[in-house]
Amino acid sequence: MSIGFQNKYNKIINNKEYMKCVEDVFYSDAVKKMDEYIQHGSTTTLEHCINVSYHSYKLAKLLHLDCKSAARAGLLHDLFLYDWHLLPKGDPLFQKHGFTHPQKALENANKYFSLNDMEKDIIEKHMWPLTLRKFPKYKESFLISFVDKYTSTSETVVPVAKRAANYAMLFVMMFASIFH
């Protein structure tokens, strides 16, 4: 991982308790590969998964839930390992990425790592309630599903809001320079 990446996630990487939970996963080749794909905006799938993993870990700890499973499954929940932007647009609704990628992520996670039942459930059900019939079995599965939606929204909205603020500032400066 690059120096820029290490700097960006310095706080997380230096949290020894968190890193102990994900030590077999965090620096693996399969997880690192997620940095090759954009999830939303300019956020890579790896960055998104680290955000979901760390926030889920913190919340699970606060709520006295299984924070290790939350951290590990959070990091693996989008391990589908392809660029979803390049998928054919005409697929039937239930074959679209939003519905199918949890299963693909679970297949990959099972292939590379040893998972407990809760971690499998978290990964498989993280798109609930979109995947209506895949009802979460554990409180931790609900938690990651919520954190994933919150994180995805902030990763998508914040860069757009920042860009809009920059354009507004540019407009104000241009306006001010005309009447200066």
Kindly list the residues in this chain that would bind Fe ion in the complex (CB under 5 A): 78, 148
The nearest distance, CB 107 to Fe ion, in angstroms, is: 14
Q: Is residue 35 within 8 Å of 45, Cβ to Cβ? A: yes
CA 140 to CA 46: how far, in whole Å? Answer: 21
Q: Is residue 25 within 8 Å of 31, Cβ to Cβ? A: yes
Q: Considering beta carbons, is residue 68 or 77 the nearer one to Fe ion? A: 77
> Residue 160, class by beta-carbon neighbours within 10 Å (0-12 exposed, 13-18 middle, 19+ buried)?
exposed
The nearest distance, CB 66 to Fe ion, in angstroms, is: 19
In sequence order, which ranges of the chain are alpha helices (DSSP H)?
3-8, 10-13, 16-21, 29-33, 45-62, 67-76, 97-112, 117-125, 139-178
Dihedral over Cα of 161, 60, 58, 133: its sign: negative
Rg for the chain, CA atoms, rounded: 18
The nearest distance, CB 1 to Fe ion, in angstroms, is: 20
Q: Considering beta carbons, is residue 128 or 172 the nearer one to Fe ion? A: 128
Q: Considering beta carbons, is residue 15 or 44 the nearer one to Fe ion? A: 44
Q: Considering beta carbons, is residue 66 or 148 the nearer one to Fe ion? A: 148
